[in-house]
Structure 1
Amino acid sequence: MKGVIPAPGPLRPLALATLISRIGNGLLMTISVLYFNRVVGLSIAEIGLGLTIAGLFGLLSAVPLGHLADRRGPRTLFVLLSITVAGISLLYLLVDTFAQFLAVAIVLTMLDRGAGAVRAALIGALTKDGVGRVAARAYLRAITNIGIMAGAGVGALALHFDSASVYRWMFVTNAALTIASALIILTVPRVAPVPNSDDGPVWVALRDKGYLAVAGLNAAMSIHFAVLDVAIPLWVVDHTEAPAWTVALLLIINTAVVALFQVRSSRGISDPASAARASRTAGLLLLASMALFAGASGGGVKTAVALLAIGAFVQVLGELMQSSGSFLLGYDLAPEHAQGQYQGVWGTSMSISTMLAPTVLALLPLGLGVPGWLILGAWFALVGVLFVPVVHWAAARRPNPVPTPVPTPAPAGTT
């Protein structure tokens, strides 16, 4: 567990809080759709539409709440948001119409997306150099995968019983875990808010063309995160001779490699230039993996399973490189006095990627077959190559560093 447990310091309670909250996330990821369908009585189309609308509203909250974290301090704000999210999630147990489901989903998604930006600002404040931030995000991502796996295992037991009362208890358990993780965050040092300044525009992140360009590239490449969830299950079943259980095998490969090697893969990424090169390598690895997935349609059972497994391994190597590069770029290209709102922009770009990914995958690999896989792989490679010149341009545009009191614990009374 040496590569997963962080060294003593503020990162340890963050890691424990992440593990606990992600167990709850894994629970709900496993049972929530069935609960809304079988217990509440919503159709699959209503559930999908409601979550899509909520996702659109969620794009509006990350930057303002990230900015609030800059001005008020991220720690206590994150705790308050997390507890509020936990409470509102329990309202799902009271809904019995689509309108009620939509209202709860919108509010919950907006607060949750905003909390993500505030959490990123907190991590940035507690780890003040690029290498430290990359290592911190790598630790937390590995722990996230472990937590979701554990939560999904418990959720599988709930699916076995398949009763309304068990599903409801899963929602209660998730809320309790979320509150527990929020209280653990209170043990990390307070972070002083950034002094307010009236000598420039408020929404500086939305005016930073260099940062927006890099965030856009990162979002364009992040479409690959949906490949295993969206494209692979249908591709394996409908277009290859591989048995259906191969889908689970590929997910296990991905999850295990991320949990074991995300921290190790982040070493050596210390500045924007090295992060850009890592992203370029990621694009080439993703191209290779898409070609392997495409090739799985042309062989027998053994060939298909082998190509899919190798493709999943190559893809997760690209995922490790891209994630590590993005951890540094999201922080290092942002000025210290506005990390909260910049992390809001970064998180919003990722949310847009998540929303667009199913459509892209439906049109390319699932719609065009082998040519679609190759087009998608070429897209990843092109985006990866563009990282180097665009990051160089964005880094040259960075404003001069602004000294702030963020690295030091705040005096009593601040949040």
Structure 2
Amino acid sequence: MSGLLPAPGPLRPLALATLLSRVGNGLLMTVSVLYFTRIVGLSIAQVGLGLTVAGLFGLLSAVPMGHLADRRGPRTLFVILSLMLCAVSLLYLLVDTFWQFLIVSIVLTAFDRGAGAVRGALIAAITQGAGRVAARAYLRAVTNIGIMAGAGIGAFALHFDTATAYRLMFVLDAVLSAIAAFVVLAVPAVAPLERSDDGPVWVALRDRGYLAVAALNAAMSIHYAIFDVAIPLWVVDHTEAPRWMVALTLIINTVVVALFQVRSSRGISDLTTAARATRTAGLLLLASMVLFAGASWGNAAVAVGLLALGALVQVAGELLQSSGSFLLGFELAAEHAQGQYQGVWNTSMSISTMVAPTILALLPLCLGVPGWIILGVWFAAAGILFVPVVRWAGARRTAQLVR
């Protein structure tokens, strides 16, 4: 537990709140699609369309909410947004048409994306320097543990497969999330950030260096969807591996992140080390894509071995990339507008999440082995570009501070 327990201070209640809310997330990740299709009666296409449209609207909320956190203070705003999320999520229990589902999804996603930016501003306010990387690493490890626990609880609802069981999961998610919101009140209040009146309001949207690094980070973050989108179909349709390898690769990823995310963040203390770690991550991701591709050429034993090894190499790259991302997202931001900058960073990640299924469908799932190689080269090229682009962005940030 010592590796997953933050030092005494404001991070501990935030970690507990994260654990509680992510258990709730795990519940809904397990049952929500089945609830809307089997109980409400929506089609898979309607659910997919509704979530996609909601995601587009969600892109509009992160930067304004982050800016509001800068001006009003992030802690109380985060608690308010979290409680509003709880209330809106319960409206899903009243949904019985597509349009109702769409409206609730749009409102819920807007609050969720905004809360993510405000949470980033809160982390920035209670930590400094390399401590921010360690904090995000702790919280990511806790996130994985919470989602695993929530998925385990959600499995009971899947077993009973009744409307009451599914609805109970939504209620439990809301209860856990509400408790988590009140736990955040144990974090000391954060004063609004001071801002001079002689500069533009939307500074993050004008910061070309930060936007360039955020875009590169989004390009690399496509790998997060590999185990959700590409691996299941690749294993079943293109390899001789047994179907349980789909679950095993996901388990490898989840467990390794939970155990080693904190450790992997050590040594990443400045822009240079973060950029170099991301470059290494890109090369590791290239190697893992080659291993996944190779799994289609052998018998069942070879496929199992290559898929397992590919999963281990991939998660090693993921640990380095995420740790580098934690530092870059904070250290390249202007301190007087951390919420706004975290809104930009979260928006870039949301865009990555939206386009990832399409890219994975067009490359490895449509092109096969060449597609995996192209995807790997994509990650390696993005990783290599991080070093010069981060150096340029850091120089721009230094020049702005000198003025």
- Measured in 2, the distance between the counterparts of 1:105 and 1:6 equals 34
Equivalent residue, structure 2, for 1:338: 337
Deviates more, 1:132-141 or 1:2-11: 2-11
Contact 1:364–1:376 (Cα < 8 Å) also in 2: yes
Q: Deviations over 1:292-326 (max 9, x none)?
A: 00000000010000000000000000000000000
Q: In the TM superposition, what are the counterparts of 1:10-409 in structure 2 within 5 Å?
A: 10-129=10-129, 131-398=130-397
- Measured in 2, the distance between the counterparts of 1:257 and 1:112 equals 27
Higher helix share: 2
TM-score if structure 1 supplies the norm length? 0.96
Contact 1:335–1:401 (Cα < 8 Å) also in 2: no
Unmatched segments (≥5 aa) in structure 1: 403-415
Contact 2:289–2:310 (Cα < 8 Å) also in 1: yes
Contact 1:28–1:170 (Cα < 8 Å) also in 2: yes
Equivalent residue, structure 2, for 1:3: 3
- Measured in 1, the distance between the counterparts of 2:251 and 2:128 equals 34
- Measured in 2, the distance between the counterparts of 1:158 and 1:109 equals 24
Give the C-alpha shift of residue 196 in structure 1: 4.0
SS at match of 1:186: helix
Contact 1:335–1:399 (Cα < 8 Å) also in 2: no
Q: Deviations over 1:166-224 (max 9, x none)?
A: 11111010001111000000001111101243211110000000000000000000000
Give the C-alpha shift of residue 401 in structure 1: 7.9
- Measured in 1, the distance between the counterparts of 2:32 and 2:275 equals 38
- Measured in 2, the distance between the counterparts of 1:289 and 1:202 equals 43
Give the C-alpha shift of residue 71 in structure 1: 0.2
Give the C-alpha shift of residue 2 in structure 1: 1.4
SS at match of 2:397: coil
Give the C-alpha shift of residue 5 in structure 1: 1.1
Letter in 2 for 1:103: I
Q: Deviations over 1:30-78 (max 9, x none)?
A: 0000000011110000000000000000000000000000000000000
SS at match of 1:201: coil
Unmatched segments (≥5 aa) in structure 2: none
Q: Deviations over 1:343-390 (max 9, x none)?
A: 000000000000000000000000000000000000000000000000
Give the C-alpha shift of residue 134 in structure 1: 0.2
- Measured in 2, the distance between the counterparts of 1:140 and 1:128 equals 15
Equivalent residue, structure 2, for 1:413: none
- Measured in 2, the distance between the counterparts of 1:400 and 1:192 equals 27
Give the C-alpha shift of residue 7 in structure 1: 1.2
Q: Deviations over 1:323-354 (max 9, x none)?
A: 00000000000011000000000000000000
Letter in 2 for 1:6: P
- Measured in 2, the distance between the counterparts of 1:400 and 1:30 equals 48
Contact 2:195–2:336 (Cα < 8 Å) also in 1: no
- Measured in 2, the distance between the counterparts of 1:305 and 1:43 equals 34
- Measured in 2, the distance between the counterparts of 1:28 and 1:275 equals 33
SS at match of 1:297: coil
- Measured in 1, the distance between the counterparts of 2:194 and 2:277 equals 35
SS at match of 1:96: coil
- Measured in 1, the distance between the counterparts of 2:56 and 2:317 equals 28
Give the C-alpha shift of residue 3 in structure 1: 1.1
SS at match of 2:7: coil
Letter in 2 for 1:312: A
Q: Percent identity?
A: 77
- Measured in 1, the distance between the counterparts of 2:89 and 2:251 equals 29
- Measured in 2, the distance between the counterparts of 1:383 and 1:306 equals 28
- Measured in 2, the distance between the counterparts of 1:20 and 1:399 equals 39
SS at match of 1:3: coil
User: How many matched pairs?
Assistant: 402
Q: 1:139 to 1:401 in 2, by over 3 A?
A: farther
Give the C-alpha shift of residue 100 in structure 1: 0.4
Contact 1:74–1:119 (Cα < 8 Å) also in 2: yes
Contact 2:329–2:342 (Cα < 8 Å) also in 1: yes
